[in-house]
Structure 1
Amino acid sequence: METSNTNKPPRAPGRRQKAAAIMQILEDLYPETPIPLTHQDPYTLLIAVLLSAQCTDERVNKVTPHLFALADNPAAMHAQSVAAIEDIIRPCGLAPRKAQAIWELSGILLEKHEGEVPQSFPALEALPGVGHKTASVVMSQAFGVPAFPVDTHIHRLAERWGLSDGKNVEKTEKDLKSLFPKDKWNKLHLQIIFFGRQYCPARGHKREACPICKLYARP
C-alpha cells in the first residue's frame, strides 16, 4: 500500500532560491538607493566612510559639513593640524585615531596619488584607517566597481536570514557574493542596510511584522 505524501510539510527553500526571493522583496521596497553619507566626490566620501566606523550615518552627516568647510580636499586637509581635525570630528567617536588617519592619508594621497583617491582595493586598503569594508564602499559607491561591503548590520541580517553561517564578515561577504548577481551587489548592499534600519533591528525585532524574516528567517 502506497503512503500518501500530502501531509508532508513543504520543503524549505535552498539558499539560492531564498536569496532570489529576498532580492525581489528588497527591490520592491527600495527601488532607489541614495547613498546615505553626504559627500561631493570620492575624497569626501572616503573621509565620511572612515568617520562612520562605530558611528551612525546621521551623526557623520552632521559633522562632515563643518569638517569640509575647513578642508574638503587632501591638500587643504593635510595643511590642518591633527588637533583641529580632531576637535571637529569628536562627536563621531574615536576622534584621536580618526583625525590622525585623515591627516596621514591626505598626505599620502598628495605624495603617492597626485591628490586623487586611488581606484583599487590594494591602494585604498594601504591608507591609514581604511580597511576592506571602507575600501569596498568607496570602490562601489564612488567608482561603480562591483563590491559587497559587509558591516555589522549586513553580517547580522545575512545570518538571521540563513544566507551565511555568520562566522565572520569575510565569510559573510564571500557567501553573499556567491548568492547574488555581481551587477546587483552595489545596490543590494544599500538595500539591506535600509531594510535593517526600517524592519529588522538587532533589538526589539518583531519577526511576524518583518517582510523577510516572517518568510525566510532561520527557525
Structure 2
Amino acid sequence: MRSIIFKRIVMLALIFITSYLVIGNLLHRVVFPEKKPAVSTWFKPGQELYSKTEGFRQTVLKQESGYVHCTLEIEPFAAGPPSHIHMGFDEVFEIESGELTVWVNGEIKKLHAGEVLRIPRGTPHKPYNETADTIRTKGPIAFPEKFAFCLVQVYGAMDRQPGFERSSQAILQMPLFQTNGFDSYLADGPPVFMQKTMGWVVVPMSRLLGYSSYYREFDPFYNQK
C-alpha cells in the first residue's frame, strides 16, 4: 500500500513539474513575450557601457555581423567582475597602457603594454586592476550583441544594489539575463550545466514575480534612440 502511495506521489510530482516547465515557458516566451528594443540596431558608436561597481568603461566602436566592438578602460583599483565563465566566446585582452591583473583558472597573470592574453571559452577568469593607473586596451574587444545588450542591464542591477551577484534577487534575475543571451556563469557556483538547467526552471517563476530581462531604467541609451 505504501509503495502504491509513494508511486502516485512521485507521478503527481512529475506531472506538476513537467506542466510547470512546459506551460510556464510557453507563457513566458509565446503568450506574454517581453517587450524590449531590437538588439540588432541597439548600439551606436560612442555609446558607453559603464559599471561603477566593476570599474569598467567600454565605448562602442561599431555593431556589425552580430557583434559589438568596444574599447575598454579599467579604472584605478577596479574590482572587476566576479570570477566567471563564458561558454560561447573567447575573451581577448591586449594592453595599450597600464598593468592588468587576470585570475585565470586559479593562476594570476600580469599583463603589461604590448602583451596579449586570450582566454578560451569555458575557462574561469576574472580581470581587475591592482594599480593606481587607468588601464587601456589596444584595439576593440568584440562581444556577441545579445551578451552586450544584457551586460548593460547587469551593470545597472549591480550598480543599484551592491553585492547583487550574491543576493537572493540575483537567483531570480540572472536566469532571465542568461536565457536571453548573457553568456556568463559564476566560476565558483554550481557546474555551468546546472546553472543553465536551473535557469530554465526559475525563469517562469521570475516572470510571475515581475522580473524581466530588460529594464528601461538601466538603459542609458533610451533617450538617444
Q: TM-score, structure 1 length as denominator?
A: 0.31
Please, what TM-score do these two structures have when normalized by structure 2? Answer: 0.30
Q: Which has the higher helix share?
A: 1
